[in-house]
Amino acid sequence: MITQTVSTLGFGALLLIGLLAAITVVIGTHAEVKHGFEDAQMIRSCVQDEANILEVWRDPCTQRQQIVCKPDARYAIMIVEAVENTLREVTCYFKEKMPELRQVENYLKNRGSVRLR
């Protein structure tokens, strides 16, 4: 696994889950293997800039957060889980067949997630 340090400003929305100081994201390999290296890198870059984060959701069952951003014409979701002061990337992927934000919101609601921001 690769460790990438991201400033709190870049993940400002995740302060809602109580993380303080610099946040370390441990990058997983699932996104790259399943969804492609270029897509995974594009989504990671998008999420690093708080201005690109459109919404943050939380799954109450798994306590994982879903970060929604739009690095190009497509919406993307990065799923992370908090482990002490570290966020571990579970996966990230584009929602290719959902050209509207409300479709992504409905997808997350139907999965049982709750919008935090």
pLDDT of residue 23: 45
Q: For tokens 């270029």, name the residue.
A: 38
Q: Tell me: the pLDDT tens digits for 81-99?
A: 988 888 888 999 999 999 9
Q: Average pLDDT of the chain?
A: 78
How confident is the model at residue 27, as a pLDDT? 66
Report pTM. 0.74
Q: Is pLDDT larger for residue 114 or for residue 13?
A: 114
Quote the pLDDT of residue 6: 41
Q: Where are the domains of the chain?
A: 2-115
How far apart CA 50 and CA 109 sit, in angstroms, is 22
Q: How far lies 48's CA from each of 44, 51, 68, in Å? A: 6, 9, 12
What is the average per-residue pLDDT within 55-59?
96
